[in-house]
Amino acid sequence: MSTFDSDRRDPLLDETVFFKKRDFFETKVRNDSKALEILNSSDDAEQKERVSWDRVVRFLEHSLCGYSGGIDLVKVEGEFTQFIDCLIFHKKSFRHTQLKYWEPDAYQYILWIYSISILLGKKEFILPVVEMISKNPQGEDDPILSIFLARMGVIGFPRQRDESLAFPKSYQHLYDAIKGDGVSPTKAERQESIKQYLKGWYKGMKDCYWYNRHKGQFPTFFGYWAFEAGMVTLLYGLDDSSYRHMLYYPKDLVDHARAQGYDQLFAPELMEQQKHYIVLPGDECSIDGTFLCNLTNDQIILNRGDRAPGPIEDENGNRIFWVSQ
């Protein structure tokens, strides 16, 4: 007979915590009229943005908690889609919003969002989330994000020439698993890197706001998952037999993705035909197309050879870029 203990995917998630957190979310959704009223009528822009982002985080944690608790993956997909809808609504309402990847929580959010999107076969989620990623105002950007974006068909996110990572202690093994070309590192070496990444993953997340939540007095724990390890396994065609038993590895989601053929949906040759381009102000455009600004609702048409217009940053110091649609 199926029980919570037999169905749950995260062994640290207690049944009482799971149902209390799920009930709390459902109650908040039923009573969401106050939050929506603030978003629709309040003149306090900061309050509106704070309320909207609180909804985004709530929907994300709800979908993660569902996966951890062992609910059906079709329902997980539905809950994650609700989160993405909430995120897109927030971005449209507050165009200046950025996930500043040099902050630990934001970096892990980016990895989670893209990893789950790919493992659920949601290619349509990739482009809207690109606009959420902040460009480093000081120079080039984290190579892990640059490599992942390029692998998903988004070209032009500047990459550190010295390959320095935003969080080397946390993500070096992840970088080792995705760097190089199709030959080097070998698949065996990439697999070993993912195994080592999973071994140190939780310790490397100690600066994230949800670290140690399973020890908390209140039902705030939603599970611990290195979804990015699953994304790399799928995208790089790795054999996960040496690490699929390990904590934090989302094996059910990876198995589901493979059974649905999502590895083929994101095959390199297919992504090669569906590219989108990031162009910085002042840089020369390599294609003809329509481009959307990451921080405003401005849309422009650029032809090959045109230089993207400025300014370089907005009034808050956030770097501007243009994304082909």
Q: Where are the alpha helices (DSSP H) in the chain?
A: 4-7, 15-30, 33-41, 45-69, 73-93, 104-119, 126-130, 143-151, 168-178, 187-204, 227-235, 251-259, 262-265, 268-271
pLDDT of residue 218: 83
Q: Output the CA torsion 55→61→62→65 (10° steps).
A: -170
pLDDT of residue 37: 72
Q: Which residues of the chain register pLDDT less than 50?
A: none
User: What domains are defined for the chain?
Assistant: 3-274 (1.10.3920.10), 275-324 (no CATH)
pLDDT of residue 139: 80
pLDDT of residue 1: 67
Are 93 and 230 in contact by the 8 Å Cβ rule? The answer is no
pLDDT of residue 44: 82
The model's pTM: 0.94
Closest CA to 301 of 155, 95, 127, 309: 309
